[in-house]
Amino acid sequence: ETSKLTIKEFFVVIKSPATWILATGIFCVYSFQVTTTYFTPYFSAVLGLAVTSAGFITLLRDQVMRLLGAPFGGMIADRIQSPIKVLLLVYVVGLTSILCFRMIPAETPTVLVVLMTLFIAFFVYMGRGVYYAVATELKVSRKYAATTVGVGAAMGFLPDIFQFLLFGHWLDTYGNAGYDRMFIFQAAVLAVGIVIATLSLKFKSKITHKGETPKTL
């Protein structure tokens, strides 16, 4: 017999570490993707690339890397049996890439800029291909699975509400210097992701050792 989720059980989902781990994973990856959408104006305004070249890079980033990165991320997660470890890899590579990307000079060859952009985008879509699977890895029960994913997604996609406004404000106020603030913001988000992913693996280890799902899940 199927039972409906009660208000009390809804708050059990809200308090569950699994819900917040899932939300953090979505937030960090999606925030990373939002930041990459500003690469096109950055190429033109700061690195001096032609608008047509920047547009071509955007096309490759959004279309080609989406088709390659997401399935590859899923394959790796299945192979190592841990979407969280894939996300941790995404955060580490993303943080390193963002810092390197910020330091490249304006005279950097276009080919190198293209390769770096596609490399970053590949890992962004790797993360997007696995973050929902975190709920399975943390053994969220079927009864709470849909609600956990729904709440996690509602919190995880918050960058859609504020990040474009924040970045737009920085660019309007500080000009090209606003890109510095964007990169620093994104580096901080990815650093938080690394910490949370590391703690998530410890949380998963506790679940495994107990041989059962905690009551909060």
Q: What is the pLDDT of residue 209?
A: 63
Phi, psi (deg, nearest 5) at residue 167 = -65, -40
Q: What is the pLDDT of residue 127?
A: 95
pTM score: 0.88
Could you give the 3-state DSSP secondary structure of residue 21? helix
The sign one gets for the Cα dihedral 52, 57, 60, 66 is: negative
Ranges of the chain with pLDDT below 70: 1-3, 51, 53-54, 209-217
Residues 117/39, Cβ–Cβ less than 8 Å: yes
What distance in Å separates the CA atoms of residue 31 and residue 161, rounded to the nearest whole number?
Answer: 11
What distance in Å separates the CA atoms of residue 162 and residue 151, rounded to the nearest whole number?
Answer: 18
Q: What is the pLDDT of residue 217?
A: 46
Q: What is the pLDDT of residue 158?
A: 95
Task: Report the run of H or E that residue 117 belongs to, with start and end.
Answer: helix 110-128
What distance in Å separates the CA atoms of residue 87 and residue 207, rounded to the nearest whole number?
Answer: 19
Q: What is the pLDDT of residue 104?
A: 79
> 59: which residues sit within 8 A by CB, 6+ positions away?
none
Could you give the 3-state DSSP secondary structure of residue 138? coil
Q: What is the pLDDT of residue 214?
A: 45
pLDDT in tens, 98-121: 888 778 777 777 778 778 888 899
H-helix segments, 47-106: 51-59, 65-80, 83-103
Q: What is the pLDDT of residue 216?
A: 44
Residues 151/26, Cβ–Cβ less than 8 Å: no
Q: What is the pLDDT of residue 211?
A: 52
